[in-house]
Amino acid sequence: MRDAKRKRLESKGWKVGSTAEFLGLSADEAAYIELRLRLAAGLKRRRVEQSLTQSALAKIVRSSQSRVAKMETGDPTVSLDLLIRSLFALGASHKELAKLIDEKRRGSPQEFAVAERRSRITR
């Protein structure tokens, strides 16, 4: 958020902070969510690069299209195990997985959903 907008909102009584602050997350919990969202975005990016539909990926990993959709959005009901196995099924190497885990946030806000929505405004 731009400083000018932040100052304007704060002058009108709004409180500006991060999603982690708003939800009361510990540093460990925030890091875990970041990791889950990075893996989810990496899975979607890899699927799209390979021109696969969610249904096609579901067949590869022996799951359902709706489960793949949940994987790609970082749904908490999806295990990290399934996310990682799906990345490997799409040909990701251990090195690529490590790079994905270690990468800094980048890309569109849609890719990182909640993680990119750092600034939350509350009164």
Domain boundaries, the chain: 3-122
User: pLDDT digits over 57-66, tens only?
Assistant: 999 999 999 9
Q: Tokens for 81?
A: 């195990």
Let me know: does 48 contact 90? Beta carbons within 8 Å. Answer: no
Query: Over the stretch 77-112, which tens digit does the pLDDT of each residue have?
Result: 999 999 999 999 999 999 999 998 887 654 433 343
pTM, to two decimals: 0.71
Is 26 strand, coil or helix?
A: coil
Strand partners, 120: 17
Which pLDDT value is given to residue 105? 53
Residue 93 φ/ψ, nearest 5 degrees:
-90, 170
Lowest-confidence pick of 17-21, 41-45, 73-77: 17-21
CATH (residue range 3-122): 1.10.260.40
pLDDT digits (tens, 9 = 90+) for 111-122: 434 433 333 344
DSSP symbols for 27-79: HHHHHHHHHHHHHHHHHHHHHHHTT--HHHHHHHTTS-HHHHHHHHHT-TTS-
